Amino acid sequence: MRIETCSFCSSPVYPGHGTCFVRNDCKIFQFCRSKCHKAFKKKRNPRKVKWTKAYRRTRGKDLTNDASLEFEKKRNCPIKYDRQVWEKTVKAIQRIDEIKTKRHNQFIMNRLKVGKKVEKEADIREVKKNINLIKSPAAGLIQRREEEQIVEVMPEENQQMEEV
């Protein structure tokens, strides 16, 4: 049994699930659900429908140029069963999965960095624009110190006046 990919949204279609559409030129289209099948029949472009993988790739929200994605390609060459080859393949699949998750997490972090940078710049612009609304705590400290010095000087002057 083979796990196919949906011809519209690129999600996996497991055996016994989804629908199959065969065009007059014998091209086979697999669909994961009726939503994809209906969108295909309405001739919608998957790159313009927001919930598809094609949309996410064209907008730069998913990885597109990654060597680990090459391993997902379908290969139709039959190989004679060998236990050692099978074990190596399973280990390779696990290793590839680890690499893909690391790269995917790094990709997400890089995307978030841009948003944080833009957000920080917007905050800085807003503060510069409305700086008069913000009262500095240090400014209050300086005024209090000046007032305390004046109060201290005043009693000394009062004592000197009483002596004269």
Q: What phi, psi does 135 have (nearest 5°)?
A: -100, 125
pLDDT for the residue numbered 76: 73
- Round to whole Å and give the CA distance between 9 and 54: 7
Give the pLDDT mean for 135-159: 71
Whether residue 157 has pLDDT greater than 90: no
pTM of the model: 0.51
